[in-house]
A and B are shown apart, each in its own frame.
Chain A
Amino acid sequence: MSEKIVRIVDRAATIMAAFGASSVSLSLPDLSARAGLAKPTAFRLATVLVRLGWLEQQAGTGAYTLGNAALHHAHTLLGAIPMRGVLRPVMETLRDEINETVVLSLRDGDFRYNIDSVESRHTIGQTQQIGVAIPLYAGAASRVLLAAQPNNAVQAYLARTDIRAYTGATLTQEAVLLQELRSIRETGVAVSAGEFTSGAHAVAALFRQGDETAALHFSIPAGRFSPELAERCKSALLAAAQALHA
């Protein structure tokens, strides 16, 4: 299979990826530096992207922000994920019960993706990593999804995967991981502390609907986390999973 990359499309994607939590708006010099293009070239590319709705340009400053096209594609994408529709009311109920952010994630290949979230009503919270590829060994929700796989698939995954630490807390020893997976299969829940992003604890459980599986996890900033809260989260998740599978 030809893996030829079309450079201009790749650079358009790089421009889009330049926006993040701290980069709400970017000037033309920023964009041209990030995309590795001379300013006039970057300007012409940005103009095409504005026309497509991928970017917006602010009238006063001329700076660029993300546009609305992403909202439309995200909506289309979410519409094709039945688990999202099924679990959204469950997520809202869980958030109302515990008042911490609830995140829905799915496995795709060797990665987990946070698909959707329902935010807690606290003013302090962790920004969720939505749509980002997260390894299947890092964090409670990842391991819940990995544990749902049959044993041979888990072994094959571990054999081909380079397990590296994302933070000081990431579990990297295979023996420990396998023990953790056994525990998840017995109890139905997993807990982790800051393995992919520092500062957030997670309590996760598996949800099934027919052939589809997904993980729901509470994402709790370290400052609010306690063993008692973890237990309440576990009970709430297990009860919700049971109600769904009934």
Chain B
Amino acid sequence: MTNVIEDPETGASYGGEAVLRAAKALDCFTREAPRRTLLDLTRETGVPRDTLRGILNTLVARGMLRVDADETYQLGFAWLQLAFLRRQQMQARDVALPIMRGLVDKLGETVILSTRVGDQRVHIEYVESPQPVRRLAQIGNGGPLHVGAAGMALLASLPRTERDDYLARVAADASAVRDALSHVQREGFAMAVGSVNPETAAVARGFHTKAGECFAVTVSCPTERFTKSLETSCIGAVKTAVQRLELILGAGQ
């Protein structure tokens, strides 16, 4: 696909490349590094400085970046507005929330809904356990797809070509991940007990919507509460919950 976009009406041509570069610059901001200078961004994106400055100016003008007097950039507040709208507008979230609340009522543990964004699994909604010590969740929290119950459940649900592409690009030990994924597919759920975080246990299952989006529902709790009995209940309850979601949202319609 060419990145030059030509407008047949005006004859002007636009570099779609600039949008890709803008996105690349935005991805340079992380929780660990929320403030970046023009120099940082130039180095990390590989985009020539003057070109990048124009792109960054545009993002600042539209509230997607902020800049201070010494050309240090931060993410802009427009993303908060867009995220807020996105959350309000997600249809899958509306359907999933009551079902997630039902799961929390039944199991007493935190339930998280996640989806894939690029190469990450991202938490997009959650209902927390009422217990004082519980798994905490954060909207937008991201992690690699091949780590943890939610990510593995998503990875197992992806179309084969997308999964293979991801593993080829990202997973250091692709064959170990593949073995684990076969297990997830056979069992119908993914589980991680103290493997990602020693304090956390999680059970997850993925599903598709009619629109082709992939989600995972995860129950997660402190490892010391994850008894054999809870494990069995979680597996059963998550499977049932996802079946209901598939019925309402799913490709089987």
Do they bind each other? yes
- Cα distance A132–B80 in the bound complex, in angstroms: 8
- Cα distance A129–B82 in the bound complex, in angstroms: 11
B26 CB within 8 Å of chain A:
yes
Q: Provide the residues of chain A in CB contact with B194, threshold 8 Å.
A: none
- Cα distance A54–B10 in the bound complex, in angstroms: 26
Interface size on A, residues (CB 8 A): 61
B53 CB within 8 Å of chain A:
yes
A245 CB within 8 Å of chain B:
no
Q: Type the 1/0 row for B41-70, where 1 means its CB is closer than 8 Å to any CB of A.
A: 000000000000111011101111010000
Q: Provide the residues of chain B in CB contact with A3, threshold 8 Å.
A: 57, 61
A20 CB within 8 Å of chain B:
yes
Interface size on B, residues (CB 8 A): 65
Q: Type the 1/0 row for B83-120, where 1 means its CB is closer than 8 Å to any CB of A.
A: 11111110000000000000000000000000101101
Q: Which 8 A-B pairs have the closest CB atoms?
A: A75-B140, A131-B81, A131-B80, A80-B34, A74-B83, A70-B82, A13-B62, A79-B31
Using known A-B contacts A12-B22, A38-B7, A38-B9, determine if residue A79 contacts B34 with beta carbons closer than 8 Å.
Answer: yes
- Cα distance A99–B127 in the bound complex, in angstroms: 19
- Cα distance A65–B87 in the bound complex, in angstroms: 11
Using known A-B contacts A2-B53, A3-B57, A5-B57, determine if residue A77 contacts B211 with beta carbons closer than 8 Å.
Answer: no
Q: Provide the residues of chain B in CB contact with A66, threshold 8 Å.
A: 82, 85-86, 89
* From B74, B75, B138, B139, residue with most partner A Cβ within 10 Å: B75
Using known A-B contacts A4-B57, A6-B18, A52-B20, determine if residue A38 contacts B86 with beta carbons closer than 8 Å.
Answer: no
Using known A-B contacts A48-B19, A72-B142, determine if residue A13 contacts B64 with beta carbons closer than 8 Å.
Answer: yes
B201 CB within 8 Å of chain A:
no
B183 CB within 8 Å of chain A:
no
Q: By the criterion CB–CB under 8 Å, are A9 and B89 in contact?
A: no
- Cα distance A8–B85 in the bound complex, in angstroms: 23
- What are 7 A-B pairs at a CB distance below 8 A? A9-B55, A10-B61, A40-B8, A48-B19, A75-B83, A79-B34, A131-B78
Q: Type the 1/0 row for B22-43, where 1 means its CB is closer than 8 Å to any CB of A.
A: 1100100111001100000000
A153 CB within 8 Å of chain B:
no
Q: Provide the residues of chain A in CB contact with B211, threshold 8 Å.
A: 58-60
Contact of B117 among A41, A69, A113, A114 (CB under 8 A): A69
Using known A-B contacts A9-B19, A65-B89, A68-B124, determine if residue A76 contacts B30 with beta carbons closer than 8 Å.
Answer: yes
Q: By the criterion CB–CB under 8 Å, are A71 and B14 in contact?
A: no
Contact of B139 among A41, A44, A75, A80 (CB under 8 A): A75
What residues of chain A have their CB less than 8 Å away from a CB belonging to chain B?
2-13, 16-17, 19-21, 24, 37-38, 40-41, 44-45, 47-49, 52-54, 56, 58-60, 65-80, 108, 113-115, 127-133
Q: Main secondary structure on chain A at its contact with chain B? A: mixed
- Cα distance A130–B117 in the bound complex, in angstroms: 22
Q: By the criterion CB–CB under 8 Å, are B7 and A41 in contact?
A: yes
Contact of B75 among A41, A76, A130, A133 (CB under 8 A): A76
- Cα distance A58–B209 in the bound complex, in angstroms: 11
Q: Provide the residues of chain A in CB contact with B82, threshold 8 Å.
A: 16, 19, 66, 70, 74, 131
Q: By the criterion CB–CB under 8 Å, are B55 and A77 in contact?
A: no
Q: By the criterion CB–CB under 8 Å, are A76 and B19 in contact?
A: no
Query: Which A residue's beta carbon lies closest to that of B79?
Result: A73
Q: By the criterion CB–CB under 8 Å, are A133 and B63 in contact?
A: yes
- Cα distance A131–B84 in the bound complex, in angstroms: 9
Q: By the criterion CB–CB under 8 Å, are A72 and B122 in contact?
A: yes
* From A54, A77, A133, residue with most partner B Cβ within 10 Å: A77
Query: Which B residue's beta carbon lies closest to that of A115?
Result: B80
Q: Provide the residues of chain B in CB contact with A20, threshold 8 Å.
A: 85
- Cα distance A6–B14 in the bound complex, in angstroms: 9
Min Cβ gap B29→A in Å is 6
- Cα distance A204–B55 in the bound complex, in angstroms: 38
Q: By the criterion CB–CB under 8 Å, are A2 and B54 in contact?
A: yes
Min Cβ gap A203→B in Å is 22
Q: By the criterion CB–CB under 8 Å, are B61 and A130 in contact?
A: no
- Cα distance A74–B140 in the bound complex, in angstroms: 7
Q: Provide the residues of chain A in CB contact with B3, threshold 8 Å.
A: 48
